[in-house]
Amino acid sequence: MRPLFHPALEDIKPDAILYALSDPERVAIFAKLAGTACGGTCSALADLGDRVIPKSSLSNHFKVLRESGLIRSERQGVEMRNQTRCAELDERFPGLVRAILTAYGQLPEQMKTG
Amino acid sequence: MRPLFHPALEDIKPDAILYALSDPERVAIFAKLAGTACGGTCSALADLGDRVIPKSSLSNHFKVLRESGLIRSERQGVEMRNQTRCAELDERFPGLVRAILTAYGQLPEQMKTG
DNA sequence: TCAACAGTTCCGAATTTCTGAACTACGGAA
DNA sequence: TTCCGTAGTTCAGAAATTCGGAACTGTTGA
């Protein structure tokens, strides 16, 4: 398995962010992660209620989120911990992530204050 | 030629907005329109400096922008006047368009105040 | 060493995007 | 009215992207 690529903050491109978050499934995943203190695993996020995302698709969603700079993934034993890069992102693109999650009606409680 | 479709404000979907603005060419077009008081025509926006967009591609970009709810197009004689729906959009998705244009470094002067 | 599990990679099918060429719509000139 | 020029749309096929099942890799525990 190749090492996971994470762009440096200054290499994060807005088009990649928007593309990643133009898919409702990825937004749902990202919003759940943003509402989780410790990182969430892939499989814990596969169930969307109305449909279970196939794991190859899930893996791809995580790759898109990771390579756009939205999340950071780290192997922890047998599973992967994923967490958002919201704080960093807000520094580089002020208000962007918040406005997007708000538009989708998926801003998690934790992000409502501040 | 089919009549042009414009979604009603309440039918505008954030995923369509983000998708439309995940393409740097469309962002450039949209930003130029947002910085133009009277509506801009297709051909006036084709030149990106480093490349001239083929007109079938341009027409498609306008269609994507229009059907996502970002712009309104109206035939005026032989040409098409296009204008953004920024005011409406800001009502429905507060801060979204501004945050996106800012992230791209393309917020026009007109939108900097207010 | 083996089994179970989390997640990734591969690869073919389906979908989407791109763009040159043909076409439609409108306005002006004769 | 007819013809011409301009603005933009639609069509069609090639190229690129996305999707997801099956096979694979890496890790832990027995």
Q: Which residues of A touch B (CB under 8 A)?
A: 14-19, 21-24, 27, 93-96, 98-100, 102-104
Evaluate whether residue B79 is within a structural domain: yes
- B101 close to B62: Cβ distance less than 8 angstroms: no
Which residue is listed with tokens 């995923």? B15
Measured in whole angstroms, the distance separating CA A17 from the mean position of its chain's CA atoms is: 10
B113 located within any domain? no
Give residue A77's region: left, alpha or beta (phi > 0; psi -120 to 50).
left
- What are the start-end ranges of the E strands in chain A? 71-76, 79-84
Report the C-alpha dihedral over residues A76, A111, A86, A99, rounded to 10 degrees. Answer: 140
DSSP element (H, E) containing A76: strand A71-76
Our CA-based measurement puts residue A29 at a distance from the nearest CA of chain B, in whole angstroms, of 14
What's the pLDDT tens digit per position in A38-87? 788 988 888 877 889 999 999 999 999 999 999 999 999 999 999 999 99
Residue A5 in any domain: the answer is: no
- Tell whether B111 is covered by a domain: no
CB B43 within 8 A of CB B55: yes
Return the CATH number at B42.
1.10.10.10
* Contact between B22 and A19 using a beta-carbon 8 Å cutoff: yes
Residue A6, in any domain of the structure:
no
10-residue mean pLDDT profile of chain B (114 residues): values are 90 98 97 89 84 95 98 94 97 98 96 80
d(CA B25, CA B62): 11
Q: Say if A109 falls within a structural domain.
A: no
Question: Is residue A37 in some structural domain?
Answer: yes
Residues of B whose CB is below 8 A from A18: 18-19, 21-22, 100
- Bridge partners of residue B67, in order along the sequence: none
Number of structural domains (chain B) is 1
pLDDT value of residue B15: 98
Residue at B71 is within a domain: yes
Range of the domain at B95: 13-102
A77 CA from C1 C1′ (Å):
20
- Look up residue B25 and give its two tokens: 């060419």
Judge whether residue A114 has pLDDT over 90. Answer: no
